[in-house]
A and B are shown apart, each in its own frame.
Chain A
């Protein structure tokens, strides 16, 4: 039996009235239950794609089906299956969080008694219950972001789209938000995430698409994508100032400051020869870590490669 994809985007196009082509025929598929990362630099088309999927932006061409339901021909039925956590705060700041959640459920046709129960449940789960009956204006930035997650959960959607939900949120709250969303995903909700914190995408998501200049430039599993990275950079903290660096074949060793070295090498290269050479040179390594997360390195390379290709084509 074939599984109906949670999201099936087919040749989706969007050209704005000012002539900007934000999407130039995007196609991608997200399977039910997936935790899917949609990444791309600023202005790549992520928000336009999410806007179309949540019916806030009209597509110029193509279609998207949510669990088999077309957003173009069956908008209402499709929207019933989607929950959106947008990038910008978009609730009424003069209303109370409890009312914002209950009203949101009402827009989805959920009776008030059920809505009140759900509002209490999700506001408690997102640690907002003590603020539930205060004006939304009084919430901190992190609380406002959590309120938008609680609001999106009011309809208990099968597909939850999160557009940079942790932007500007401190690390502690960010972690609690991911814990909540991971639990929602584990319970069966398909999650699509866009974020600029790539280490989070690497940790949380199983599949990934990278969009740039309105086109999908990569769409694969996180494992396969990370396997493409053939070079790694390690940061080494050394015990004494290292003035002369040994030459290690296959390793580019550079000095960052008196007590810090960087070693860039192929993933195939073993670390033993590096440590042997450092040891011979009288350099004691106290600790070692990856310079950046692997996904970030890949992301930058893919986008830069795309930009170089576009430059050549334009030339």
Chain B
């Protein structure tokens, strides 16, 4: 055993993998936070989505009729509404939690610890993804009161939720790193995420749009996420499934690399 290993063993005094223990600690802390303030983290999506189902699904949707053979309008919007909840919750969880840690200076607990940057990032992303998943399950459960959804492709459904949640968790993390005040973490959801989500085919099929709006819609990454998820739940999609997964994976990899680089260099964190 060389001196470095000896020092590490001495400092640790344990046999468990320290990085896994640290990762578990951050994830657990994030989950506890989500559950502690459930009225802010879990309840709002349940209420908002119930309203969407009642107003857009039942009241407006009953006049629209079927979107595709055997698929009512309310069934058609369920996947998009679940994705909307996953996106806003994953993004909001990590941006508020990490920026809160920066603002309250308790991020220093982690920065001054031996944890490598990837552990900090993975822990926060895991927490945000878990919130995205919990909210997805809640909204799906609520939708069952209004629709008769069948899981056509469970693995595609799960993979899409996980990838979407990962992409927006990473985006929220980057936002939190650059944010200097609480307003800075509210700007992106208001002026970027909400418009992109509404224009991402949640309430309509892009095939119904004329040029150039239809072509422009293909530049919106949320379109691919909503459609891949809709394929998993309903077997319907406006985009190629392969392209959708390439887009989601590419965003996850690029945003992950950016977030890790920022954390490594201590941008916005270390002076």
CA gap between A155 and B11 in the complex, in Å: 7
Interface residue? A54 (CB, 8 A):
yes
Q: Which residues of B contact A88 (CB under 8 A)?
A: 105
Interface flag for A234 (CB, 8 Å): no
Most chain-A Cβ atoms within 10 A of its Cβ — which of B101, B106, B111, B115? B106
* B11 pairs with A107, CB closer than 8 A: no
Q: Does A103 contact B (CB under 8 A)?
A: yes
Contact indicator B25/A76 (Cβ below 8 Å): no
- Chain B contacts with A in 225-271, Cβ cutoff 8 A: 266, 270-271
Whether the Cβ atoms of A16 and B271 lie closer than 8 Å is yes
Chain B residues 115-172 with CB under 8 Å of chain A are: 115-116
Complex interface: chain A residues within 8 A of B8 (CB): 77, 80
Docked complex Cα distance between A55 and B263 (Å): 13
With both beta carbons as reference points, the residue of chain A lying nearest to B14 in the complex is identified as: A111
The DSSP consensus for interface residues of chain B is helix
- B25 — nearest CB in chain A belongs to which residue? A106
- The CA of A72 and the CA of B115, in the complex, are separated in Å by 15
Contact of A107 with B270 in the complex, beta carbons under 8 Å: no
Determine chain A's interface SS by DSSP, over half rule: loop
How many positions in chain B have a CB within 8 Å of any CB in the partner chain?
38
Interface size class of A (residues with CB under 8 A): 35 or more
Contact check, B112 vs A79: say whether CB atoms are below 8 A apart: yes
Q: What is the CA–CA distance of A60 and B12 in the complex, to the nearest angstrom?
A: 30
* Residues of chain B lying within 8 A (CB to CB) of residue A56: 108, 111-112, 270-271
- The answer to the question of B114 belonging to the interface, with a C-beta cut-off of 8 Å to chain A, is yes
Report whether B7 and A107 are in contact in the complex, using a CB–CB cutoff of 8 Å. Answer: no
Residue of B nearest to A76 (CB): B114
Q: Does A281 reach chain B (CB closer than 8 Å)?
A: no
Q: A155 contacts which chain B residues (CB < 8 A)?
A: 11
Which of these, A57, A86, A156, contacts B271 with CB under 8 Å? A57
- Could you tell me if A81 and B109 are in contact, using CB atoms closer than 8 angstroms? no
Pair A90/B25 contact, Cβ less than 8 Å = no
Collect the chain B residues with CB atoms within 8 Å of residue A16's CB.
271
**Cα of A50 to Cα of B23 in the assembled complex, Å:** 26
Residue among B8, B11, B28, B105 with max Cβ neighbours from chain A (10 Å): B11
**In the complex, A69 Cα to B112 Cα: how many Å?**
15
Decide yes or no whether A185 CB sits under 8 A from chain B. no
Ordered by A's residue number, 16 sampled pairs between the chains whose C-beta atoms are within 8 Å are A51-B271, A55-B111, A56-B108, A56-B112, A77-B7, A81-B7, A91-B109, A107-B110, A109-B14, A109-B16, A109-B17, A109-B18, A109-B19, A109-B22, A112-B21, A155-B11
